[in-house]
């Protein structure tokens, strides 16, 4: 027989042992659970890391290709312009008049080779980076073209132009920071599904109709008077060119990864679209460069072309849909900064604006200038009053003479 106190003590000991075992098993479960979750997290990270690294690597490759493309294309404008100027000295049919004598100029061909190389780099960049990143970086070609035009073509690049170049660089940097880092199209099947989107089909029909009307009606009548006609043709077809380049780039990338996409008819359809649009663009871009100032054609073409490409990319690839609001705002701010830079680059290009002739900030000089301006205005008003009084006196004398003569005749 055991005493009640002993039984009570044994019960407490058993209860403590049970609680200890429960806490131990619970802790073990938590530990194992944490371990399993951590292990699963680590395994997930190890799986995601290569994809994230590959995406970042593709982004950098696309970025470098886009910058190199801008350098080549910006230089090509100058070489082609030099070739067209040499052709104009020979008194042959100019490109703006529908002539093709520029095909015999080696400078034009040098510019064509540079542009082709730049377009190939641009073409490759679309396979690695989003169109909303690659296309706006074309603003760098505007800077290259403006600087080389000032040097080789003796076209003016004043202080406003230099500030505009700086704004273009800053805007491009902002767009690079906020642009989408991942592509929205991974394979040709995905692209084919996007091409069947009714919204994109309507957009494509509108683009074709617009280009047809501009080429057949407006270009023959108003192309030589208004450069927006030629530039609009290049821009609306340029949206098709970029979309086609993006698709062909995806096909080439898939083929290099072991999946042959050149057995897919869509690849050849996109190739035909790209080649056709590029040929038409080159024809009308040559006419614009031959007829109008290079420093005006290049930036306006950039704004129109980039806007058309962003609109097409937004409709087809929907690259903005998965971006945070801050990145979308940053991307748009960068684009508008580039437009502001291009405006400064060209709006005041004929004005003599430099640091040397800017108004001085010293107070005494400002006061003397203002006093001089006031005295000049007073002198001008005094001369005007004297001139008016002189004219009134002469008028009265003439009237008096006429009246005297008439009275003399009557009497």
Confidence tier at 256 by pLDDT (50, 70, 90): confident
Specify the long-range contacts of residues 280-285, CB closer than 8 Å, at least 24 apart.
280/211, 280/215, 280/233, 280/237, 281/233, 281/234, 281/237, 281/238, 281/241, 284/219, 284/223, 284/230, 284/233, 284/234, 285/230, 285/234
Q: CA-CA distance, 134 to 65, in Å (whole number)?
A: 9
d(CA 270, CA 367): 67
Q: Decide which of 378 and 276 is more confident.
A: 276
Structure confidence at residue 92 (pLDDT): 62
What would the pLDDT profile of 265-296 be if each residue is shown by its tens digit?
999 999 999 999 989 998 898 888 888 877 67
CA 45 to CA 125: how far, in whole Å? 28
Q: Which one, of 321, 318, 312, 320, lies nearest residue 201 by Cα?
A: 312
- What does the pLDDT look like over 90-145, one tens digit per residue? 766 665 566 667 778 888 899 989 988 987 888 788 888 887 788 888 778 878 88
Q: How far is residue 255's CA from residue 257's CA, in Å, rounded to a whole number?
A: 5
- Across 344-367, average pLDDT: 68
- CB–CB of 234/301 below 8 Å? yes
Summary mean pLDDT of the chain: 75
Q: Is 358 exposed, middle or buried (0-12, 13-18, 19+ CB in 10 A)?
A: exposed
CA angle 274, 277, 278 (to 5 degrees): 80
State which H helix or E strand residue 89 sits in. Answer: helix 4-89
Question: Alpha-carbon distance 280 to 230, whole Å?
Answer: 10
Say what the pLDDT of residue 102 is.
Answer: 73
Using CA atoms, how far apart are residues 387 and 33, in angstroms rounded to an integer? 102
Cβ neighbours for 114, distance < 8 A, ≥ 6 positions apart: 72, 73, 75, 76, 79
Supply the pTM of this predicted model. 0.61
Question: Mind spelling out the 3-state secondary structure of 24-51?
Answer: HHHHHHHHHHHHHHHHHHHHHHHHHHHH
Q: How far is CA 273 from CA 238, 246, 287, 313, 405, in A?
A: 11, 12, 22, 16, 86
Kindly tell me if the per-residue pLDDT of 1 is higher than 90.
no
Of 110, 83, 111, the residue nearest 99 (C-alpha): 83
Length of the chain: 411
Question: What is the dihedral angle through the alpha carbons of 44, 48, 49, 50, rounded to the nearest 10 degrees?
Answer: 130
What local confidence, expressed as pLDDT, does residue 33 receive? 45
Contact between residue 88 and residue 151 where contact means Cβ atoms under 8 Å apart: no
Are residues 284 and 301 in contact, defined by beta-carbon separation less than 8 angstroms?
Answer: no
The CA dihedral of 349, 355, 357, 358, to the nearest 10 degrees, is 100
Instruction: Give Cα separations from 279 to 38, 59, 241 (angstroms).
Output: 57, 29, 10
CA–CA dist 373, 217 (Å, integer): 53
Selection from 153-157, 237-241, 405-409 with the highest mean pLDDT: 237-241
Chain segment 134-190, per-residue pLDDT in tens:
888 877 887 888 888 888 887 777 888 889 888 988 988 898 888 876 556 778 888
Query: How far apart are the C-alpha atoms of 106 and 117, rounded to whole Å?
Result: 16
- Alpha helix stretches (DSSP H) within 90-197: 106-128, 131-134, 139-152, 159-178, 188-195
Among 94-108, 226-240, 307-321, 339-353, which stretch is predicted with the lowest mean pLDDT?
94-108
């Amino acid at each position: 027989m055991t005493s009640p106190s002993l039984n009570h003590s044994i019960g407490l000991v058993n209860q403590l042992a049970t609680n200890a075992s429960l806490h131990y098993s619970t802790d073990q479960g938590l530990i194992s659970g944490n371990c399993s979750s951590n292990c699963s997290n680590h395994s997930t990270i190890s799986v995601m890391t290569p994809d994230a690294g590959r995406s970042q690597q593709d982004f950098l490759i696309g970025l470098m290709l886009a910058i190199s493309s801008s350098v080549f294309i910006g230089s090509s404008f100058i070489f082609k312009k030099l070739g067209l100027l040499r052709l104009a000295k020979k008194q042959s049919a100019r490109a703006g008049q529908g002539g093709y004598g520029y095909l015999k100029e080696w400078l034009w061909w040098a510019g064509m080779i540079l542009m082709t190389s730049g377009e190939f780099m641009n073409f490759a960049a679309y396979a690695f980076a989003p169109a909303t990143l690659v296309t706006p970086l074309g603003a760098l070609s505007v800077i290259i073209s403006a600087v080389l035009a000032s040097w080789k073509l003796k076209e003016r690049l004043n202080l406003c132009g230099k500030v505009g170049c700086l704004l273009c660089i800053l805007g491009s940097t902002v767009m690079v920071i906020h642009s989408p880092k991942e592509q929205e199209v991974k394979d040709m099947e995905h692209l084919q599904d996007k091409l069947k989107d009714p919204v994109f089909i309507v957009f494509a029909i509108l683009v074709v109709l617009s280009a047809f009307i501009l080429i057949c009606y407006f270009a023959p009548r108003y192309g030589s008077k208004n450069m927006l006609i030629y530039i609009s043709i290049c821009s609306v077809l340029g949206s098709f060119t970029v979309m086609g380049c993006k698709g062909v780039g995806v096909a080439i990338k898939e083929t290099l990864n072991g999946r042959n996409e050149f057995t897919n008819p869509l690849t050849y359809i996109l190739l035909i679209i790209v080649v056709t649009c590029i040929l038409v663009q080159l024809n009308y871009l040559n006419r614009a460069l031959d007829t109008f100032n290079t420093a005006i054609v290049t930036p306006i073409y950039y704004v129109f072309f980039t806007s058309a490409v962003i609109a097409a990319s937004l409709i087809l690839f929907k690259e903005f849909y998965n971006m945070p609001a801050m990145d979308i705002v940053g991307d748009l701010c960068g684009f508008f900064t580039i437009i502001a830079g291009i405006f400064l680059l060209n709006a005041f290009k004929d004005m003599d604006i430099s640091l040397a002739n800017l108004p001085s900030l010293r107070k005494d000089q400002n006061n003397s200038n203002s006093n001089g301006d006031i005295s000049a205005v007073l002198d001008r008003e005094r001369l005007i009053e004297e001139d008016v009084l002189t004219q009134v006196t002469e008028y009265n004398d003439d009237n008096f003479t006429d009246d005297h003569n008439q009275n003399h005749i009557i009497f």
